[in-house]
Amino acid sequence: MGNWVVNHWFSVLFLVAWLGLNVFLFVHAFLSFEKATKYYYTRQILGSALAWARASARCLNFNRMLILLPMCRNLLSFLRGTCSFYRSTLRKQLDHNLAFHKLVGYMICLHTAIHIIAHLFNLERYSRSRQATDGSLASILSNLPHQENYSWLNPIQSPNTTVVYVTFTSIAGLTGVIITVALVLMVTSAMEFIRRSYFEVFWYTHHIFIIYFIGLGIHGLGGIVWGQTEESMAENHPHKCAEFFDKWDDPASYCKPPQFEGLPAESWKWILAPGILYIFERILRFYRSQQKVVITKVVMHPSKVLELQMHKHGFSMEVGQYIFVNCPSISSLERHPFTLTSAPEEDFSIHIRAVGDWTENLIRTFEQQYSPVPRIQVDGPFGTVSEDVFQYEVAVLVGAGIGVTPFASILKSIWYKFQHTDHNLKTQKAGHAALNFDKANDILTGLKQKTFFGRPMWDNEFSTIATAHPKLAVGVFLCGPQTLAKSLSKCCHQYSSLDPRKVQFYFNKENF
């Protein structure tokens, strides 16, 4: 546990800060709406459900503000590669962008559930108080006439109006249904099984976020929660006039009927800045993808692996980076990430394995000998954790299956640097293990029981490295399945010394 904290202190600090801000915003908003005099009369109808709805809405706004930022890949690449004042420990946190994106998504789901449940209680209480004939304060407030000199508090204006009718005919209700359905579709299609097996479903469905954010901006305009106006509180202060509600219509009474106003829309204020930043990101990526790409060489490798060597004017890369590739003849919208397998010293290349409909169609297109070479659009490159490989004197590179591709770039670059006697190269030892960890059966015997031939015994490997380099930082880089990641991460924690002056293993995993 101690090693884990030492190696992940910034991640822990950031996560605690994010969770703390969520708790603070929720509690602050809850207490504000639970105690504010402005909403005293509203609470007489809705009770504590008002505070639950508004507190969850505040946290939703906060997390919606954050959800797009981890997907601004150009911004992350800029922070990682250009801002040299960032320490390696801080840059490593940028590689957790997808994990943070998912955490924020889960938090949005949690507060969405709270928000929906609270408003279901609100609508039910609105309906019940509108139908009440007992002369209670809630009944009087719900039956305030909707005229020029009066403002209504209860959105249900008739005893015969149902909750379902209000839900699907009001701005707040209809947009709430739309953005909830959009959220459910995005979350379910992002599940690991669907994303891995049916990437196209995930890709297209996830772009419903455009509808989600448009609906979100409209949602706040038709709020169903109203509060008393400041002018009205001077004529009807709840602490003085609430108990005399039966005399509000009496001209001789000093307590006049209260006036109400809707809450100002806030959602758009939270998402405006990140929305503009993300739009600028997409415009930049679209512009770069439209630049001409020349395919200089096509190689078909065994096991249905396609190699494309390409040239693009002004293209500049670092080791381990990746690009998004689009082939308009297959799909004008789909863009898939591929790690660059070339060194920065040469034209860039990628290796594509047939693992789905899109990749199979692409390979089939290039296999057609007498047809013209299809047009390729390239967006990127974008930074990854592998860029830090040369910051370590000792590096261990582990690739499973097609996961060896980012390390091909690294090994080529090391060769070029040795050829040109690059004195800035820190790396003195590189270990490269190409595994078949992602196969269901053994590649030699075909049996479920795996053959251990050629596969490193990780405890022995880490122990040997720790003994040989007792005072160095060792970078462990993986591009492979999660099961292998767990094993390597565990070994990194186990064999790292609690003394920061001694050997430390830093685990790095490729994420796209």
Contacts of 251 by beta carbon, 8 Å cutoff, 6+ apart: none
Q: What backbone torsions phi and psi does residue 295 show, to the nearest 5 degrees?
A: -85, 110
The region that residue 402 occupies, defined by phi over 0 for left and psi between -120 and 50 for alpha, beta otherwise, is alpha
Contacts of 29 by beta carbon, 8 Å cutoff, 6+ apart: 51, 54, 55, 57, 58, 59
- Please, are residues 322 and 73 in contact by the beta-carbon 8 Å criterion? no
CB hemisphere CA count around 343 (13 angstroms):
10
CA distance 94 to 385: 8
For all residues of the chain together, what is the average pLDDT?
Answer: 82
**Residue written as token pair 């592998």:** 386
Q: Above 60 in pLDDT, residue 434? A: no
Q: Above 50 in pLDDT, residue 436? A: no
Q: Above 70 in pLDDT, residue 498? A: yes
Model confidence over 204-263: pLDDT tens digits? 899 999 999 999 888 888 777 888 888 888 888 888 888 888 777 777 777 888 888 877
Q: Above 70 in pLDDT, residue 108? A: yes
Give 407-432 as a DSSP string: HHHHHHHHHHHHHTT-TT----EEEE
- Please, are residues 263 and 226 in contact by the beta-carbon 8 Å criterion? yes
DSSP helix, strand, coil percent of the chain (3-state; round to 5): 55, 15, 30
Tokens of 106: 């889960």
pLDDT band, residue 415 (cuts 50/70/90):
confident
**pTM for this prediction:** 0.81
Model confidence over 116-135: pLDDT tens digits? 999 999 888 888 888 888 88
DSSP at 340: B
Q: What residues form DSSP beta bridges with 395?
A: 430, 475
SS3 category, 352? strand
Q: Above 60 in pLDDT, residue 147? A: no
Q: Find the helix or strand (DSSP H, E) in which 145 lies.
A: none
Model confidence over 257-294: pLDDT tens digits? 888 887 788 888 898 999 999 999 999 988 888 889 99
Evaluate the omega torsion of the peptide bond into residue 274 and state whether it is cis, within 30 degrees of 0. Answer: no
Question: Residue 172: which of 127, 226, 125 has the closest Cα?
Answer: 226
Contacts of 102 by beta carbon, 8 Å cutoff, 6+ apart: 190
- Determine the average pLDDT of the residues in 365-375: 82
pLDDT band, residue 450 (cuts 50/70/90):
very low
Query: Exposure of 102 by Cβ count < 10 A (0-12 exposed, 13-18 middle, 19+ buried)?
Result: middle
Lowest mean pLDDT among 158-172, 283-297, 320-334, 385-399: 385-399
CA distance 3 to 468: 20
Tokens of 360: 């199979």
DSSP at 209: H
SS3 category, 345? coil
Q: Above 90 in pLDDT, residue 112? A: yes
Question: Residue 316: which of 339, 341, 347 has the closest Cα?
Answer: 347
CA distance 280 to 69: 12
- Please, are residues 401 and 438 in contact by the beta-carbon 8 Å criterion? yes
- Determine the average pLDDT of the residues in 34-40: 87
256-to-146, 243, 499 alpha-carbon distances in Å: 15, 13, 73
Lowest mean pLDDT among 6-15, 290-299, 360-369, 430-439: 430-439
Q: Above 50 in pLDDT, residue 66? A: yes
